[in-house]
Amino acid sequence: MTTDATAPWLIAGLGNPGPGYAANRHNVGFMVVDLLAERMGGVFKRHGKAQAQVLEGRIGPMGPGSRRVVLVKPMSYMNLSGGPVTALRDFYKVPTANIVAVHDELDIDFGALRLKLGGGDNGHNGLKSMTKAMGADYHRLRFGIGRPPGRMPVADFVLRDFSGAERKELDYFVDRGADAVEALVTEGLERAQSTYNT
């Protein structure tokens, strides 16, 4: 599937709003788009048409190689992410193939990244909500968080902060996640996959 070079991209970092969730494993999507916002030199603002914070800007080199992007943090809680993302897709007239969901992934080792287009939700409630709202043909950046230790329930694991050992490496992996999103938008899926999929 090709993407329209003139259409904007919508980069949705998935997470839960509020300071109590900010450092949770489930909020790594917010962490990546926060870093992208920092790189763009912008600040998230509440959007009038959707329950979300947004930042409009550009990614890539100045001139014709840059791409218009809308960074999004849904403020609806993870399992209702599809509503705000769909509202913003319609507001900004973004093709579904130009949407990227940045999310935590249990079935990948901590820090590993996988870019892909389409697919199932693998039990992830944020993806489940987005797919129900708009179909599955959007891009994903899957950010590995690993599996819970022992018999810890998955819900407890994803809603806990990263461990001390993980936090020592987290900034590096979030930085790499932001690089992967930028590469996807400016270079296309195959080139970005060959560089960042681990």
d(CA 29, CA 43): 16
Q: Which residues of 159-197 are buried (b: 16+ CB within 10 A; e: fewer)?
A: beebeeeeeeebeebbebbbbbbbbbbbeebeebbebbe
Q: Are 99 and 89 in contact (CB under 8 A)?
A: yes
* 9-13 β-sheet, strand order: 45-46, 52-59, 67-74, 9-13, 99-105, 139-144, 113-117
Which residue, chain included where needed, has tokens 């003139």? 6
Active-site choice (26, 47, 103, 124): 26
Check if 139 is active-site. Answer: no
| Catalytic residue ranges | 26
